[in-house]
Structures are given as structure tokens and as C-alpha cells.
């Protein structure tokens, strides 16, 4: 067989095996191997490196799309000095992602604007970066999705979906009151992940208030029980960061105005 048709066959093998990146890189790699007098092993290793990198990049992009993190925040973006209620050491420990191993849950509790969503997303980012399947949803979206699923006969599939990710972020629990159907959906998601997969949940509800927001206080209590059993809880009180920066801005504007008046 001529060298040319061998080459053509090799290329079509690579395409057949969907190794498009190495198919693409083949001519350049062959040239390089000839020029550098590479052994067969060294050549093959280089060619497969290309494919491994492309597969890895695809996997990452897939995880990234899947996670649907609504912002690009990282833990390093969080200003710990501005929020002393948040234990920096604890957050750093979480960032090692060891908590995923025993399905520990993470709860951020506090009023609006204190950085709950930011921390949850930053943690999600760390998980995605480490290659873990992560999924972000708000409590309202989760409830709506489960509601539709029930109507369309896809309840079991949807429950499996929420059981899947290594970390499930449920943002904004308790901002809106939850009807019993929505609470039941959330309860089932929490229950089936219990001791199997971590949930990172943010809420403005103190633990004592859960009963009021969910129609059924027994469901609320059972849900909390499972969430808290293996958990790290951050009670973030203190000022809203938004208000704080708003105040700082207003202060600067005022100073600017005063300076303007003086000059
Ligand atoms: P919450 O979810 O508690 O209502 P967010 O996480 O949405 O609050 O934070 C509100 C805004 O303030 C966001 O833009 C966030 O980036 C910013 N923010 C809050 N706390 C901090 C902080 N400690 N360091 C930096 N930015 C912060
Ligand atoms: Mg929030």
C-alpha cells in the first residue's frame, strides 16, 4: 500500500473514531515526527495528547454550560473584611471541596445583599473548575420545573435530574412563600439527595421561620432535619453589601459635591 493511501486510511480511521482533533493535527504531527526523528511511541503520544486535550476541553465546556451559573464570581472576589460574619477559614475549607465527599450541605442564611448568592456561585465555580457536575437553580425555578414535569408526566425523570449533579445549588429559598406542591417538590429533591449529594442552599429565612413559609410545617421540619444533619451553616447578618457600596458611593458624591462647592 502506498504511503499516501496509508495516510488517507489513517485519517479516515481517526474520523470514524470521532478523533477529529488528532485527524486535524495528523499532517503537522507527521511532519514534526519526521523532522525530529521521533520514535513511534513518541509520535503516537503526541498525537493522542492532542485528542485528550480536546476531549477534556469539551468536557469542561459541557460542565460549564450544564451548571448555568448566573455569574462569574470566584471565592477570591469575596471581600471578607467587608463581611466579618463570614468565617473565611470555613469558606477556604469548603473551597477544598472535601465537603462533597460526605455529601455535606452548605447553608447561607441571611438578609438580602449580604453575599449569599455570591458565595454559593463561587463555590459552584470551584466545583466546575474541579470537574464536578454542578447545577444552579433558584427555588422558584425548581418548583416551576417540577410543576411542569408533573403535568407532563416527567416527574421521575426530573427527580433523577436533580439527584444527578455532585453539587446542587438552590438559591433564594423562602423569598416567596411556597405552596404545598412546590414545597413537596423541594422536599423530594432534598430527601433523595440526603447523604448522597451536597446541596448548597441560600435563604433569607432563619431556621425558626421555615415553618411559616411552607404550607405544611411538618414538611418544613423534615426538610430542615435532612438539610442540617450533615451541614455547614453560615449565618450572615450584618449590612447589605449593596447598601454599603451605595452608601460609600453617596458619601463620595457628597464629598465631591462639598469639594466642588469649596473650590
Ligand atoms: P444575597 O444573595 O445575599 O442577596 P448577593 O450575593 O447577591 O447577596 O450580593 C449582592 C451584591 O453585593 C453582589 O453584587 C455581590 O457581588 C456583592 N457582594 C456582597 N457581599 C460581598 C462581599 N463580601 N465582597 C464582594 N462583593 C460582595
Ligand atoms: Mg441572593
pLDDT above 80: residue 260: no
Atom of ligand 1 nearest to the CA of 82: 23
The ligand minimizing its distance to the Cα of 172 is: 2
Q: Does the Cβ of 241 fall within 6 Å of ligand 1?
A: yes
How do residues 225-259 score in pLDDT, each as one tens digit? 999 999 999 999 877 776 666 556 556 655 655 55
How do residues 53-70 score in pLDDT, each as one tens digit? 999 999 999 999 999 999
The kind and range of the H/E element at 27 are: helix 20-36
**Alpha-carbon distances, residue 100 vs 33, 103, 133, 215 (angstroms):** 44, 5, 11, 31
How do residues 173-199 score in pLDDT, each as one tens digit? 998 888 888 889 999 999 999 999 999
Cα–Cα distance, 153 to 131 (Å, whole number): 32
The ligand minimizing its distance to the Cα of 116 is: 1
Atom of ligand 1 nearest to the CA of 120: 6
Residues contacting residue 170 through CB under 8 Å, at least 6 positions apart:
137, 138, 139, 142, 186, 189, 199, 200, 201, 202
C-beta separation of 102 from 196 below 8 A: no
Closest-CA residue, ligand 1 atom 20, reads 115
> What pLDDT does residue 263 have?
46
Q: Which residue has the cell 421555615?
A: 210
236 CA to middle of ligand 2, Å? 12
197 CA to middle of ligand 2, Å? 22
Atom of ligand 1 nearest to the CA of 110: 3
> What pLDDT does residue 159 have?
96
- Angle 191-103-162 (CA atoms, 0-180°, nearest 5)? 50
Closest-CA residue, ligand 1 atom 16, reads 118
Amino acid at each position: 500500500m502506498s504511503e499516501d493511501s496509508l495516510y488517507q486510511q489513517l485519517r479516515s480511521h481517526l474520523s470514524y473514531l470521532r478523533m477529529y482533533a488528532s485527524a486535524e493535527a495528523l499532517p503537522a504531527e507527521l511532519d514534526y515526527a519526521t523532522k525530529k526523528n521521533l520514535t513511534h511511541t513518541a509520535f503516537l503520544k503526541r498525537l493522542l495528547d492532542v485528542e485528550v486535550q480536546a476531549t477534556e476541553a469539551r468536557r469542561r465546556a459541557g460542565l460549564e454550560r450544564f451548571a448555568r451559573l448566573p455569574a462569574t464570581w470566584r471565592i477570591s472576589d469575596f471581600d471578607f473584611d467587608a463581611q466579618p460574619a463570614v468565617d473565611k477559614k470555613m469558606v477556604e475549607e469548603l473551597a477544598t471541596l472535601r465537603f462533597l465527599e460526605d455529601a455535606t450541605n452548605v447553608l447561607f442564611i441571611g438578609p438580602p445583599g449580604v453575599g449569599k448568592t455570591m458565595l454559593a456561585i463561587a463555590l459552584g465555580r470551584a466545583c466546575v473548575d474541579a470537574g464536578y457536575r454542578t447545577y444552579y437553580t433558584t427555588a422558584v425555578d425548581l418548583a416551576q420545573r417540577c410543576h411542569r414535569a408533573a403535568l407532563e408526566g416527567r416527574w421521575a425523570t426530573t427527580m433523577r435530574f436533580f439527584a444527578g449533579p455532585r453539587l446542587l445549588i438552590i438559591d433564594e429559598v423562602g423569598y416567596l412563600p411556597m405552596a404545598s406542591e412546590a414545597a413537596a417538590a423541594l422536599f423530594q429533591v432534598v430527601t433523595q439527595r440526603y447523604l448522597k449529594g451536597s446541596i448548597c442552599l441560600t435563604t433569607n429565612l432563619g431556621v425558626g421561620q421555615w415553618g411559616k413559609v411552607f404550607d405544611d410545617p411538618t414538611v418544613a421540619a423534615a426538610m430542615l432535619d435532612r438539610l442540617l444533619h450533615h451541614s455547614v451553616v453560615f449565618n450572615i447578618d450584618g449590612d447589605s453589601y449593596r447598601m454599603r457600596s451605595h452608601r460609600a458611593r453617596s458619601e463620595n458624591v457628597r464629598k465631591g459635591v462639598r469639594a466642588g462647592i469649596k473650590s
